[in-house]
């Protein structure tokens, strides 16, 4: 049985931009400056217990098995013969149903904090698989486009059946993410994708994903701009985000390379070349949301953002 060497730890996990438009369920990047904080303590009982959830505008499950942070630690315990139990306190920094990876962030922060309690920390693969189990509680599927960039930082390819891969990203590439004050739950957004698709749509989307990744590798903003064009998912979800067409047009008019829905929405992100361009795009996007009566928050930072970390 694995025994801890510390009694408590606290970790921060950043928000994320899931899908990045053209990489549905397999591509995502971390977003610096906003995220969840989770404290994990050792308890003698061989269980996982949630003690408190703070600063959440929605009531979240206190039963560990129904909470992403609790489910992630339950998975870690069951797979690795951990003798002790865990007590969790969650401080939410990511709004509920925002498309910023809030459910994933709680799971990742809990795992990173728990990992710090042991003398021989678990591998990235161990943490990643437990995080996928946690994410599945909220979204209904084990997709890594949120948890992988939170664990690794930056832009990450989270393809099925292989370890996630952190990709090269030019330092000039910045993200402007704007979160309107409304909620769009992941399960509802995924339901909008049910239906028939044309083979030509998959071919075009594959080409765009390849161009985006090549543009990042070559630090070529022109290729990135051509690639950041979601023809598969965005058209089916756009109507769920109030004012989306106006917000996207505003970002592009302000100089963004491209823009799309962050995760399941309703947040909208834009990739920009340079910090100044990203700030301009953020202002334009907020003004567009305001024109349809929505207050919003803006977050701007490099796409190559830091991973989750222990903070205490």
Tens-digit pLDDT profile for residues 67-121: 999 999 999 999 998 989 999 999 999 999 899 999 999 999 999 999 999 998 8
∠ at Cα 282 (281, 286), nearest 5°? 115
Q: Any idea which of 12-26, 79-93, 177-191, 229-243 has the lowest mean pLDDT?
A: 177-191
Q: 132 pLDDT exceeds 90?
A: yes
**In Å, how far are 32, 182, 290, 296 from 234, measured between CA atoms?**
24, 18, 21, 20
Distance CA(236)–CA(232), nearest Å, equals 7
Tally of CB atoms within 10 A around 214: 14
Residue whose C-alpha is closest to residue 22's, from 285, 152, 181, 216: 216
- Give me the mean pLDDT over the 115-135 stretch: 95
Residue whose C-alpha is closest to residue 250's, from 304, 178, 305: 178
- CA 227, 269, 192, 244 dihedral sign is negative
Q: Any idea which of 44-48, 79-83, 189-193 has the lowest mean pLDDT?
A: 189-193
Predicted structure pTM score: 0.95
Higher pLDDT, 24 or 139: 24
High-pLDDT (> 70) share of the chain, %: 100
Q: What per-residue confidence (pLDDT) applies to 128?
A: 97
Mean pLDDT across the chain: 95
- Give me the mean pLDDT over the 235-250 stretch: 97
Q: What per-residue confidence (pLDDT) applies to 193?
A: 87
Q: 10 pLDDT exceeds 80?
A: yes
Tokens 């994990």 correspond to what residue?
40
Q: Any idea which of 55-64, 125-134, 150-159, 199-208 has the lowest mean pLDDT?
A: 55-64
Q: 186 pLDDT exceeds 80?
A: no
In this prediction, residue 46 has a pLDDT band, given cuts at 50, 70 and 90, of very high
Helical segments of the chain, H only: 68-80, 102-115, 124-139, 147-152, 186-191, 199-218, 221-227, 234-237, 244-253, 275-291
Q: What per-residue confidence (pLDDT) applies to 192?
A: 86
**In Å, how far are 53, 182, 285 from 296, measured between CA atoms?**
24, 9, 9
Note the pLDDT tens digit of each residue in 253-264: 999 999 999 999
Q: 310 pLDDT exceeds 80?
A: yes
Q: 190 pLDDT exceeds 90?
A: no
Q: Are 68 and 137 in contact (CB under 8 A)?
A: yes
Q: What per-residue confidence (pLDDT) applies to 188?
A: 84
Q: What per-residue confidence (pLDDT) applies to 191?
A: 87
């Amino acid at each position: 049985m694995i025994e801890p060497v510390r009694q408590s730890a606290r970790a921060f996990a950043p928000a994320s931009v899931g899908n990045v438009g053209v990489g549905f369920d397999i591509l995502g990047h971390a977003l610096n400056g906003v995220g969840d904080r989770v404290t994990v303590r050792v308890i003698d009982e061989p269980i996982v217990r949630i003690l408190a959830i703070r600063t959440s505008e929605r009531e979240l499950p206190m039963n560990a098995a129904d909470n992403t942070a609790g489910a992630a630690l339950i998975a870690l315990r069951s797979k690795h013969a951990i003798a002790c139990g865990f007590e969790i306190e969650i401080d939410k920094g990511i709004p509920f149903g925002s498309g910023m990876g809030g459910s994933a962030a709680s799971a990742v922060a809990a795992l990173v904090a728990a990992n710090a309690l042991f003398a021989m920390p678990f591998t990235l693969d161990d943490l990643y698989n437990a995080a996928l189990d946690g994410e599945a509680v909220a979204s209904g599927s084990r997709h890594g486009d949120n948890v992988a960039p939170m664990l690794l930082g930056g832009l990450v390819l989270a393809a099925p059946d292989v370890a996630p891969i952190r990709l090269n990203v030019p330092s000039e590439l910045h993200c402007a993410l704007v979160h309107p004050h409304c909620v769009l739950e992941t399960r509802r957004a995924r339901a909008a994708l049910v239906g028939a698709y044309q083979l030509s749509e998959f071919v075009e989307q594959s080409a765009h994903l390849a161009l985006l990744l090549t543009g990042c590798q070559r630090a070529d903003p022109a290729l990135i701009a051509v690639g950041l064009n979601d023809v598969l998912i965005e058209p089916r979800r756009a109507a769920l985000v109030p004012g989306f067409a106006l917000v996207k047009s505003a970002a592009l008019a302000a100089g963004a390379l491209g823009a799309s829905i962050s995760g399941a929405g309703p947040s909208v992100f834009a990739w920009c070349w340079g910090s100044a361009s990203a700030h301009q795009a953020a202002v334009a996007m907020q003004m567009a949301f305001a024109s349809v009566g929505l207050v919003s928050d803006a977050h701007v930072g490099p796409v190559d953002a830091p991973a989750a970390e222990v903070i205490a």
